[in-house]
């Protein structure tokens, strides 16, 4: 996954209706020695209100739509 990809939360992580479709804004490598230590910042379309929902999670929790 890379910045700009459209994603959804895996059903095993959370119901997809809670988050809807998200856009990856940033990918952050947390450790130089462990390539799996990654955190992505996502702007979610789902939810209520007018403020954008920004969240962080591991890419293994996501399904790529791009």
**CA 8 from chain center: how many Å?**
7
Instruction: Report the pLDDT value the prediction gives residue 2, as an integer from 0 to 100.
Output: 92
- pLDDT average per 10 residues of sequence, the chain (66 residues): 93 85 93 90 80 88 91
Spatial CB neighbours of 31, under 8 Å, sequence gap ≥ 6: 37
Q: What is the pTM of this model?
A: 0.83
Instruction: Report the pLDDT value the prediction gives residue 18, as an integer from 0 to 100.
Output: 83
Contact yes or no for 9/62 (Cβ under 8 A): yes
Instruction: Report the pLDDT value the prediction gives residue 66, as an integer from 0 to 100.
Output: 78
Instruction: Report the pLDDT value the prediction gives residue 47, as an integer from 0 to 100.
Output: 65
Q: Are strands 62-64 and 21-29 parallel, antiparallel or unpaired?
A: unpaired
Instruction: Report the pLDDT value the prediction gives residue 48, as an integer from 0 to 100.
Output: 65
Determine the longest span between alpha carbons in the chain, in angstroms.
40
């Amino acid at each position: 996954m890379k910045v700009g990809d459209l994603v959804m939360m895996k059903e095993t992580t959370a119901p997809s209706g809670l988050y809807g479709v998200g856009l990856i804004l940033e990918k952050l490598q947390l450790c130089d020695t462990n390539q799996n230590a990654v955190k992505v910042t996502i702007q979610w379309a789902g939810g209520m209100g007018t403020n954008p929902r920004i969240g962080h999670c591991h890419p293994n929790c996501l399904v790529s739509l791009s």
